[in-house]
Structure 1
Amino acid sequence: MKELIYLEQLVRYRLNGYFPSGSEEAEPVMPTLDQWHYPLADFVHRNKLNVHEATLLLVALAPHVQPDLFDSAVEGKLSDPGNFPRIGGVRGKNSRTFLPTGETLLFLLAGGQLAQRMQVQQLFGSQHLFAKKKILWLEELPTGEPAMSGRIIMSPDYIDTFLIGKPSPPHFSTTFPAKRIGESRTWASLVINDDLKKQIEEIRSWLKYNQQLMNEYGMKDRIKKGYRALFYGTPGTGKTLTAGILGNEMGKEVYKIDLSMVVSKYIGETEKNLEMLFARAEDKGWILFFDEADALFGKRTSVRDAHDKYANQEVSYLLQRIEDYNGLIILATNMKSNIDDAFMRRFNATLRFPFPDAGERMQIWKKSFPENALFAKEPAAPGNDAGSVDVPDLVKKYEMAGGSIINVVHYASLKALERRNGHDSDANDKLTIYLSDVLQGIQKEMMKEGKPFQ
């Protein structure tokens, strides 16, 4: 890998200035990007990075690719890099190899030139691309220690992107409190009215064409990046399913945020948790789905105590952060009125998921049962025909949302399978769903919801 060979040569060249080998060495020249081995070259080219910026990326990446690179480079010059503070570097708790710090980069790019050092330090500035996109940063040190003595840390997502061309799927954790929604169903599985279909089509259009509009037609500085949508309506009406189908159709990852791991009673922790989440998702095209969003995006209150003050600060932070995110954010809630008015003004679209009417409920019933299932009123005595009935039509009168209907179908199908297997039937027999089981399942669901069953 010529890019890493260059980095090793650069380390030796700088050390030779302090520990001459007796022969004159020319400063190494960075190989052209077409000679680089790793996909990192594509990022350098796309963002028009200069030699100093590209070198910093190589320095940060080296411990993850060639852990002994720095130790090998100083071999013959120093018995231990710790004896030469100018080169910086630390040893990790588990890794015993040289881990570069900010001082390491200053040594390689600036040597002892003060003006040059100040210029190189700007690569770690808050306004630089590396900080804005959370690509790399300096380890935070105890108060009083020089900032440049901090270890250079690169985001795990960018390590994967630079080495294999794409980030690995994140694992659910305290630093990424979100789970991927894997959805294989299509729009044919979703029963919604025509008005809602038109609104969803607007989101699909944004996902399909917005990047082209921004990049090819010079709209980056004229329109806000990202898209914010509010899904509201009774539980079980298809909000999560719609988000999953959008991701499935467009080939985008959908992550459902676990708000219980985001919201913290400690001041500043909620913002910190959200910042890590948004930074991880930035520029990846992920769809972020906040279910029961009023826990985070609820109305601000009048300030009566310090708790109210900081709760309102959280909302203000969120307002800014969701506008900065350049992907699709979906907020889902049961009650639209619970969402703060300041958020309402910032939504590109608000989609109401209404409770299904009788005709829509019948469609949901039909789509939810196993394919080729048979329907009967109740189990018949051995040797008798139970007689077929139209179960979806008979039960459409019960006011239930799609999520509850799925629960009933699950219950009745398991009962049907239990009966079939219990009678030693042919395994290839079609599954017979009994109305009596469906009604029992409906009764259980309506009891859960506190509704009368008639």
Structure 2
Amino acid sequence: MEVLKTLDNAFLLPILRDLDWLSAFINVRIKNYFQKDLNQVVVLPTAPDIEDEKSPYTRYILRNNLTLNERIVFLMSMVPLLKPQIFDCFFIQNKSIGRFFSEFGGVDSKSSGGFNPTVETLNFVINGQDVSKRIALFMILSEDHFFAKDQVLFLRRNQDNDTFWSRRLMMNEDFFYHLISGEQIKPKFSEGFPAKELTTQLEIEDLVLTKQLKEELYHILAWMEHRSEINNNKNLRKNFKKGYRALFYGPPGTGKSLSAAILGKMSNQLVYRVDLSQVVSKYIGETEKNLARLLDTAEYKNWVLFFDEAESLFSKRTEVNDSKDKYANQGTAYLLQRLEDYDGLVILATNLRPNIDRAFVRRFQSIIYFNVPGFQERMQLWENSLKVFEIDENLSIPKLAERFEVSGASINNAIQFAWLNARRHQRKIIETFDIEAGLMREMSKEGKSVK
């Protein structure tokens, strides 16, 4: 993570103030622990008041209504990033056994030499020596908590056989960057979030689609626009399914991904294309976990999810011949239910509609076929795409549209090739043969012949 050259003190000061309070809180716990007087009343420092939302830190606390324990967990995840010396007190060794105190938990960082807190450390700071309150941490650190859903905090294993209590508490560094800078950080592609944002500079008017297809897209936009009204109206909720599921199918390059990006742009919602290779796991049960984690994050953030080549994930169920088939069918059933419970827009795209499980098809509110553009659509695509280039005045768009039955993506690729080919030969004007050469390349890619 890059460090800002200048930080806004107004954003940092509330965090530093609360870290000073946490330091005093920990010191009282340590002092009480070594006094070994279980009957002594422990007077812990009172948390500083938070009165405004002027910083991302205070805004997050107030908007999520953090409890005292949640606030301590939140702060402890930031100590290694801002004031690691606060945890130096945990390096005290138990002289009778020659190592650190087990009650303090923690992991010695090999890279920085500092102390990284584990769940055991959190338990000591929050609950002291009260064993009966230990179980409450499961709720704060569960995958259902907003810390996990918002991708703010996570637990990292040190070894494969780690228990819950020995896992390290860590803050998402992108979110930490947001806290100290005020900048909104979008999630990066990772194992925990196997998706990339899908964007476009185009508008829906730029799409060259049939009238019926555009009407279908406007219908989806209507749901996105009135989603809150539906969710807040008891009578409407009874008559509407939860969320919205759309199936886009048709040959490659016909506008499926572009349409998804434009839907997000027009509704002011982020669209993420899911990398199915990261979601699908060879281990039984892991695919469901990966998908659940992704859907939880997207649902919390109100994002649109776009599953490209979805037939690899949502394929037809098989006859049960062995245990693998049984688990595969159970996984499909789980995916059906989880998507039905998703309170947002999910778009599945495929070139092969027949390969989608029929049970999925019944759950779609929209099934839209993206066909290869006809002659009139190809004419419009050529005119729209060539208007920013210098072209041969004798180039005939009608002849190109009639001779080459290609998709919009192939037309764009052919024009890019033609422009580069002209530049390679020190020409500013794109000639007809440049474009034809590009189109021949596109046709050969798809194994098609020219009229």
| Fold-level similarity (TM above 0.5) | yes
- The answer for the alignment partner of 1:322 in structure 2 is 339
Picking from 13, 28, 31, the partner of 2:45 is 28
Q: CA RMSD in A?
A: 3.4
Picking from 193, 210, 213, the partner of 2:227 is 210
Picking from 253, 270, 273, the partner of 2:287 is 270
Counterparts of 1:308-387 in structure 2 under 5 Å? Answer: 308-371=325-388, 373-376=390-393
Q: Classify the secondary structure of the residue corresponding to 2:45.
A: coil
Letter in 1 for 2:198: I
Alignment partners' CA distance in 2, 1:33 and 1:80? 38
- The answer for the alignment partner of 1:260 in structure 2 is 277
Name the CA shift for 1:224/1:12 in 2 (closer, same or farther; >3 Å).
farther
- The answer for the alignment partner of 1:238 in structure 2 is 255
Picking from 112, 129, 151, the partner of 1:95 is 112
Q: Classify the secondary structure of the residue corresponding to 2:185.
A: coil
Q: Unpaired segments of 5 or more residues in structure 1?
A: 377-387, 423-430
- The answer for the alignment partner of 2:6 in structure 1 is none
Q: Classify the secondary structure of the residue corresponding to 1:169.
A: coil
- Give the superposition deviation at 1:98: 1.8
- Give the superposition deviation at 1:372: 5.4
Name the CA shift for 1:179/1:128 in 2 (closer, same or farther; >3 Å).
closer
Query: For this pair of structures, how many residues does the alignment match?
Result: 426
Counterparts of 1:6-405 in structure 2 under 5 Å? Answer: 6-19=21-34, 26-34=43-51, 38-71=55-88, 78=92, 83-125=100-142, 128-130=145-147, 135-140=152-157, 147-156=164-173, 158-160=175-177, 162-164=179-181, 168-211=185-228, 214=231, 226-371=243-388, 373-376=390-393, 388-389=394-395, 391-397=396-402, 398-405=404-411
- Give the superposition deviation at 1:365: 0.8
The answer on whether the counterparts of 2:311 and 2:355 sit within 8 Å (CA) in structure 1 is yes
The answer on whether the counterparts of 1:283 and 1:326 sit within 8 Å (CA) in structure 2 is no
Alignment partners' CA distance in 2, 1:36 and 1:108? 27
Name the CA shift for 1:314/1:161 in 2 (closer, same or farther; >3 Å).
farther
- The answer for the alignment partner of 1:2 in structure 2 is 17
The answer on whether the counterparts of 1:11 and 1:74 sit within 8 Å (CA) in structure 2 is no
Alignment partners' CA distance in 1, 2:176 and 2:237? 30
Alignment partners' CA distance in 1, 2:332 and 2:160? 30
The answer on whether the counterparts of 1:141 and 1:147 sit within 8 Å (CA) in structure 2 is no
The answer on whether the counterparts of 1:12 and 1:74 sit within 8 Å (CA) in structure 2 is no
Deviations 1:252-276 (A, max 9, x none): 4333233334434343443344345
Q: So what's the TM-score if we normalise by structure 1?
A: 0.80
The answer on whether the counterparts of 1:226 and 1:324 sit within 8 Å (CA) in structure 2 is yes
Alignment partners' CA distance in 1, 2:351 and 2:165? 49
- The answer for the alignment partner of 1:448 in structure 2 is 445
Letter in 1 for 2:381: I
Compare 139-148 and 253-262 and name the one that shifted more: 139-148
- Give the superposition deviation at 1:360: 1.0
- The answer for the alignment partner of 2:3 in structure 1 is none
The answer on whether the counterparts of 1:106 and 1:121 sit within 8 Å (CA) in structure 2 is no
Q: Classify the secondary structure of the residue corresponding to 1:297.
A: coil
Alignment partners' CA distance in 1, 2:223 and 2:289? 29
The answer on whether the counterparts of 2:32 and 2:42 sit within 8 Å (CA) in structure 1 is no
The answer on whether the counterparts of 1:231 and 1:351 sit within 8 Å (CA) in structure 2 is yes
Alignment partners' CA distance in 2, 1:19 and 1:305? 59
Letter in 2 for 1:101: T
Name the CA shift for 1:225/1:88 in 2 (closer, same or farther; >3 Å).
farther
Name the CA shift for 1:38/1:323 in 2 (closer, same or farther; >3 Å).
farther
Q: Classify the secondary structure of the residue corresponding to 2:249.
A: strand
Alignment partners' CA distance in 2, 1:121 and 1:276? 17
Matched, 1:438 2:409: no
In percent, how many aligned pairs have the same letter? 39
- Give the superposition deviation at 1:366: 0.6
Name the CA shift for 1:4/1:365 in 2 (closer, same or farther; >3 Å).
same
Q: Classify the secondary structure of the residue corresponding to 2:277.
A: helix
- The answer for the alignment partner of 1:428 in structure 2 is none
- Give the superposition deviation at 1:155: 4.3
Name the CA shift for 1:326/1:141 in 2 (closer, same or farther; >3 Å).
farther
Alignment partners' CA distance in 1, 2:419 and 2:142? 60
Name the CA shift for 1:445/1:365 in 2 (closer, same or farther; >3 Å).
same
Alignment partners' CA distance in 2, 1:5 and 1:219? 51
Q: So what's the TM-score if we normalise by structure 2?
A: 0.81
